[in-house]
Amino acid sequence: MTAGTLIEGALRRERALVVGCLLFVISLSWAYLLMGAGMMEEMGDMLMPMSSGPWTPGHALLVLAMWAVMMAAMMLPSAAPMLLLHATLARRQGERGEPAAASGAVAAGYLTTWVAFSLAATTLQYALEQAALLSPMMQTSSRVLAGVVLIAAGLYQWTPLKQACLRHCRSPLDFVMTQWRPGTRGAFAMGLRHGTVCVGCCWMLMLLLFVGGVMNLAWIAGIALFVMVEKLSPAGHWIGRGAGLLLIIWGVATMFVAA
């Protein structure tokens, strides 16, 4: 058996391990959301979102966990190409330790940035509830606010910052080659860097959850699917801009046309 054959076999095992871990975490995250993410209560024979109540430390942690798990469920699928590429290059470059473990450090750094975003989203949810702008379905009760968020999200799709972040997200090979850091600590730093760019690309899209409902699973899945298409489709840049125009039109209609 040649050295090349051994390396290719190792690469296949690394990719299979990374894919398996990703599928496990993503499946577990979606299962948690499907079960209500701790934010549902029984009303007769049905599960309904918990009404706004006092923001105790326990409730705040529950909301933070909901957002963090939601971000993992929505964003890890679109990060999979970068994680697989990292595992492949780590093996080819003879990284010490298990390349799959280094890729796990990249994923941990990536998710850390989304946990930071989740903390900001939790704070925003608290502010909206205190201002009586959020319904028990965790959806904005103000047409004006909904319209403003839709228009802002649509405009952001056309900004240079959005386009720059999207280019990085759509080019995992370029990112890995230019941002490579050796070792587990370096891999974690790479994940932080990639996650920061990804948050810069998608943060306004995540705020649309307040328009469609934070626990509206169809809305969550729809945004997650759009993020994947925008990042992975060859026409992703144009799809993103087209979606921006639709969001602006939708926001104007929400504010000035809808009854």
Which is it for strands 40-43 and 46-49: parallel, antiparallel or unpaired? antiparallel
Give the whole-angstrom CA distance, residue 109 versus residue 189: 6
| Distance between CA atoms of residues 252 and 144, nearest Å | 9
Separation between Cα atoms, residue 22 and residue 86, nearest integer Å? 14
Cα 206 from chain centre: 8
Q: Which string of DSSP letters, residue by residue, matches 171-228?
A: -HHHHHHHH---HHHHHHHHHHHHHHHHHHHHHHHHHTHHHH-TT-HHHHHHHHHHHH
Dist CA 38 CA 50 (whole Å): 9
How do the pLDDT tens digits run along the chain, 259 residues long?
443 443 454 456 667 777 888 899 999 999 999 888 777 655 444 455 555 567 889 889 999 999 999 999 999 998 988 888 887 777 666 555 566 677 888 999 999 999 999 999 999 999 999 999 988 778 898 999 999 999 999 999 999 999 999 999 988 888 888 888 887 888 899 999 999 999 999 999 999 999 998 888 999 999 999 999 999 999 988 999 999 999 999 999 998 875 4
Which pLDDT value is given to residue 4?
Answer: 45
Question: At residue 27, what is the residue type?
Answer: S
Q: How high is the pLDDT of residue 16?
A: 76
